[in-house]
A and B are shown apart, each in its own frame.
Chain A
Amino acid sequence: MRRIEDANAEALKRMLSADLVLVDVVPAAEAIPALKDRMILHAGPPVDWARMCGPMQGAVTGIAVFEGWASDLKEATKMAADGAFDFHPNHHFDAVGPMTGMTTVGQPLMVVENRAYGNRAYCAINEGLGKVMRFGGNDSEVLDRLRWLRDDFGPALGRALRHTGGIPLKSLVARGLTMGDEMHQRNVACSGLTLRTLAAPMVDTATDNKALSRALAFIGSNDQFFLNIAMAMGKAMMDPVRGIDGSSIVTAMCRNGTDFGIRVSGTGDTWFTAPVEMPEGLYFPGFSEADANPDMGDSTIVETIGLGGFAMGASPAVAGFVGAGAASEAGNFTRTMSEITIGENPEWTIPSMDYLGVPTGIDIRLVVETGLAPTINTGIAHKQPGIGQVGAGVVRAPMECFQQALVAFAKSVGVS
């Protein structure tokens, strides 16, 4: 239908013309004025306390203690079960969060501005590896780190970013792709490039040498530091694509550990959900599939913009890390995703694939027609809160989400 092709061309144009800049770090209350006390934003589509998976519940109780709403985890659990907290998806508030994706009023949020369309998107700072809240961690080590991010690191990062006038992200990601990142399970190059860009401004704006040293070491020791920046970038890129009448392009994919959800431009902010799947991958020594939690997090926003599993060809190292096969097969994932997308991104190219642009603009019609579900590179969380990442793998978005979306989309354009 001409109407759909025109609407999708507009959607692709908005994606490709986005001008994405990391500009600041601000308290969540300032970034999202609608975020109130005892409101908890989580990853994925809507989910209530009773249906949350173990790590998500663990994170909720931890963040309640961090915010001072509960004196300990036991009290926080009771409060959550009694309905004391107001749960909403990050996506409803211009935000995204990895894994459990906790966003609350007292946290510092990184701000990515889409200067072509005037919108902003937010994501909390990546906590590093090991025991972290995004995997459901909630002990004193986890909460102390969150306090340090709030009181020390976040403000320091914000000062440095304001000092630079912002870091343009599209060119940084383009370089990262040529250096082997796909921006979901491998961010080592982009994290390094970010540190290189920030080092001098962080020195220039530092108030204390010891704090500066700790901040630089924190970024330098975290290969996934850039992931949360890439996520806010993805959200800032996709939000202007929402609500284009007649467009069948996916604007968000996310999961909460219970359900997988997608949104489609032409059907507005409706979620199409299905039970989330288990990732298939490789486990760290001492862990197995029996330990794994179902797939979780808003990080699938990076696949929505053509990175992550869609850019696997740029990152043969990731193909091995997530157990997706030989390095020589990495390009097949990218080629397959080209069958369900309407274009390529000429600014984000893959050298080893003759500078093929990453597949861009997931069309639900193509997904349902081909039966090829989006490929997602993902970390695997332990199903018990607080243990952390136990592996990495590949997971497919459930086809049922796209089938439901197709039926609703057809109605929206008068087809039945």
Chain B
Amino acid sequence: MLAWTIYISFAGALVLAVLPKGNATLARAIALVIAAAGFLIAIAGFAAGAGQGRVTIIDVPWVPAMGIHYTLAADGISRVLVLLTGLAALAGVLFSWNINLRTNEFFAFFFALIGGVYGVFLSFDLFLLFVFYEIAIVPKYFLIAIWGSTRREYAAMKLALYSFVGSAMVLIVLLAAYATSGSHSTGLVNLANADFPIGFQMWAFPVTFIGFGILAGLWPFHTWAPTGHVAAPTAASMLLAGVVMKLGAYGCLRVAIGLFPHGLDQWGWSFWGIGSWRDVFALLAVIGIVYGALVALAQTDFKFVIGYSSVSHMGFVLLGLVTLTQVGVDGAVLQMFSHGVIAGLLFAIVGRIVYDRTHTRQLAELETMYLGRRMPFAAWAFVIAGVASMGLPGFSGFVAELQVLIGAWIAKPWWTAASGVGIVIGVAYTWRALQKAFFSDRLPKPDEHPKEGWPKFDPITWPEVTATCLLFAATLIVGIYPSILLNSIEPAVKALLAGGMQ
């Protein structure tokens, strides 16, 4: 059933692309229907898959000469991420309601991207996964280059180049793994059982991890992320931070860790306590957490704050993955979901609700605008989203980061201590942005107010309210009752860590 999410999205993209120009309302309506259908299928698939392990959806030969199959399957991790994609797509459509420039093309690219993302999460053949991964890159470029803002061509090109370099690294490993395994198959399950020689895994693991890690915002390969997030139109930022970065993290988990687990073994020697690739990547993840937070603290552009915060939060995902403990990896997957929802919400508030009305993202200008009073919906929505983002309990981010930190305690206590610093800075930059943008003290004095009163902003529209509530509900439900996702994630992670993906 979940396979239909892919087909519906691609079919929708096609329909929207050929739609006569000029009828924006129709394009929006179609987009909404497609996104809602995808989300409903994702929910149904999630509900139907409860308690089941990996379920193969379809498995037919594709390029028999090379043993490539068209294999779609879903385990607990895939189902959670498909659910996230459906949610992000629906929210993205609602927050793009005011796009008037070439509306149908915008949504066509949008759904091409979404279809690719669904495809990656459901592919259980490495070659197929790679194809979907590449499909997702192209629409991103156009979404940013055509509908973007601040330095959009530069940002779009940077993003595309980084993505292609990452893919090239993955492709090398794909081919080498195919040749080495000798099993004449690119199926993930076959490869996982192939018993690669340890020397092979020792180089294949880091190459794959970095290749996918680039898209997950792995420090120091993260620099595409803030510029890309900022330049992208709101819906595209939401997707970039919400699901595209998750593609990278998912690849790290499913391919790098799933296929080459011995690449994480000790080298047998160590330098300053770094004795394995695991230590190397944990160090990079922790640096990402702290560095992203520190840079976010220094930004003057509201959207850059959120952009760098994504780097910091994705650091938790990567840290959780390399803890290689049940609880740490559970936390990482949960954090993927949680960050997808929360980052989407933050980008929507900053890029859509606020920017489209104030036409500035400079914190210094927003400070003088009385936004806390004039835009109470945006202000209180940001308070809740900010509280969720800084990982306060009751919201999904807390449970996720909590588990990552527990995993880190088990693996290496100092990782935890360093990440703790990252959390504190996270509180600081979120709170700084919140205060500056909405609750500033540097307001004009009463006698400097405009005589005719403050100009009214456009009222908040129903798509904005609906999408905001949708994302709120998701982060709250998962925050208060995380078992709803954990019950699905846990067995899948257990199987993956045990090796063999059986």
On whether the two chains bind one another, the answer is no
Interface residues of B (CB under 8 A from A): none
A interface residues with partner B (beta carbon < 8 Å): none
